[in-house]
């Protein structure tokens, strides 16, 4: 069976470093970090008191007040990014049966869950909001996006922790390749900057405690890294079969050519120390793309700023690419955006495609003291202009679930 070619024709992003493609790219290439003190709640009792918050999102740009009341913040962010991607692609008059949605989220509507749990305890079960369940459940972002655009084809929500939206893009790619859909609106969303999630990650000692210097807290591959910084946001891409895109005269950003997934089967939160699962996902993506490892020019690394995670990914890259690992550009945009959890994969795929468009690699900011074990070209602090034809984006999650995606410049 001949697979359909899958192209990217629209993108939308809401992120701490900037929302909208132009602002997002300017933020990534400015060499600054969007991390700052937490403003959503009183974080003074917590060991971590910093986060990467989205400050420029106005839900009223996309939704009516009544709709906003019935949607958790993670759904509102999804609607915003999906609408921007839809508009960017210039979509109209879609066959609803041939268009679908694929969404990744690691946690879903935790804001609604915690709010309604407090209502239950303080005011009793009769005061729980009747919209509690349809605001909170993880799949509701996909449901709301489908209803907004009347997309009646495949609709799936994937939860693979921080690999969720990478997995969602891969699933959408497969749906088009194997003829289930002509168009997929695919991406991820997350909004869990809340006391309960902070308490959980602080108890794990997973987050940075560089509270007095927040802009320098997210520092992937740096010797002084001390944990990730939690962020929030959403990213969506319009994926189309090449046939459908050409028939409507769409502008094409790039072609998705490879998807690989794997499991570490090792630990609930730690990566395999040799990066075996990560390496397997990258190998499978390269095989799926039908290319040689030497053809990859840039890797947007998972790079969370944790000691074990960054080292494991570095070892995996060396294992897969051999000597070519030292010719690659490898950067972690989490240094600028923080870690967007389930939304990270989609937002970072957008960053990778923009790197392809601008022939520029966004930097790993705050890389001041290179770790001896992390010795690749991580594009420290300033963007690098390079010839870029093929890009890879990695997304790895708790539970050892891994996703790797490959895109290349569109060749008619």
> Please, what is the average pLDDT of the chain?
97
In what side-by-side order are the strands of the sheet with 183-190? 155-158, 99-104, 183-190, 233-241, 6-14, 254-263, 401-408, 390-397, 298-300, 329-331
pLDDT at 288: 98
Q: In this structure, what token pair is assigned to residue 257?
A: 């050519």
What's the whole-number mean pLDDT along residues 104-128? 98
Q: For the domain 7-247, what is the CATH superfamily, name and number? A: Thiolase/Chalcone synthase (3.40.47.10)
Same fold? 7-247, 258-408: yes
pLDDT at 370: 86
Q: Return the active site residues.
A: 162
Q: Where are the domains of the chain?
A: 7-247, 258-408
Name the band, by pLDDT with cuts 50, 70 and 90, for residue 2. Answer: confident
What's the whole-number mean pLDDT along residues 163-188? 98
Query: What would be the CATH architecture of the domain defined by 258-408?
Result: 3-Layer(aba) Sandwich (3.40)
For the stretch 297-351, pLDDT in tens is 999 999 999 999 999 999 999 999 999 999 999 999 999 999 999 999 999 999 9
Cα–Cα dist 332/96, whole Å:
37
| Residues contacting residue 62 through CB under 8 Å, at least 6 positions apart | 76, 79, 80, 83
For the stretch 246-260, pLDDT in tens is 999 999 999 999 999
């Amino acid at each position: 069976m001949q697979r359909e070619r899958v192209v990217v024709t629209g993108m939308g992003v809401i992120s701490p470093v900037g929302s909208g493609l132009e602002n997002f790219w300017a933020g990534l290439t400015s060499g600054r970090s969007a991390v700052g003190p937490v403003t959503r709640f009183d974080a003074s009792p917590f060991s971590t008191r910093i986060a990467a918050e989205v400050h420029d999102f106005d839900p009223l740009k996309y939704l009516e007040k009544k709709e906003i009341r019935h949607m958790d913040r993670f759904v509102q962010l999804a609607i915003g990014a999906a609408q921007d991607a839809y508009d960017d692609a210039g979509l109209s008059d879609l066959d609803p049966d041939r268009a679908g949605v694929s969404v990744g989220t690691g946690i879903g509507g935790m804001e609604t869950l915690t709010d309604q749990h407090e209502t239950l305890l303080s005011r009793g079960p009769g005061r729980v909001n009747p919209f509690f369940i349809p605001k909170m459940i993880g799949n509701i972002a996909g449901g709301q996006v489908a209803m907004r655009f009347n997309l009646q084809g495949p609709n799936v929500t994937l939860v693979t922790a921080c690999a969720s939206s990478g997995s969602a893009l891969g699933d959408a790619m497969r749906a088009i390749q194997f003829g289930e859909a002509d168009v997929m609106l695919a991406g991820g969303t997350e909004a869990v900057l809340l006391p309960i999630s902070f308490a959980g990650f602080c108890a794990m000692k997973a987050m940075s405690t560089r509270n007095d210097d927040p802009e320098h807290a997210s520092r992937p591959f740096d010797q002084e890294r001390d944990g990730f910084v939690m962020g929030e946001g959403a990213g969506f891409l319009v994926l189309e079969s090449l046939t459908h895109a050409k028939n409507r005269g769409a502008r094409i950003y790039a072609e998705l050519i490879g998807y690989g997934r794997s499991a570490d089967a090792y630990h609930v939160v730690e990566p395999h120390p040799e990066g075996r699962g990560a390496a397997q996902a990258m190998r499978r993506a390269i095989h799926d793309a039908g290319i040689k490892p030497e053809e990859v020019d840039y890797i947007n690394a998972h790079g969370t700023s944790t000691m074990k995670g960054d080292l494991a990914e570095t070892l995996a890259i060396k294992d897969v690419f051999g000597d070519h690992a030292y010719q690659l550009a490898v950067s972690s945009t989490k240094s600028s955006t923080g870690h967007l959890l389930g939304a990270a994969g989609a937002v970072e795929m957008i960053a990778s495609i923009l790197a392809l468009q601008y022939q520029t690699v966004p930097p790993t900011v705050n890389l001041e003291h290179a770790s001896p074990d992390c010795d690749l070209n991580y594009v420290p602090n300033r963007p690098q202009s390079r010839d870029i034809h093929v890009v890879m984006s990695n997304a790895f999650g708790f539970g050892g679930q891994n996703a790797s995606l490959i895109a290349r410049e569109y060749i008619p």
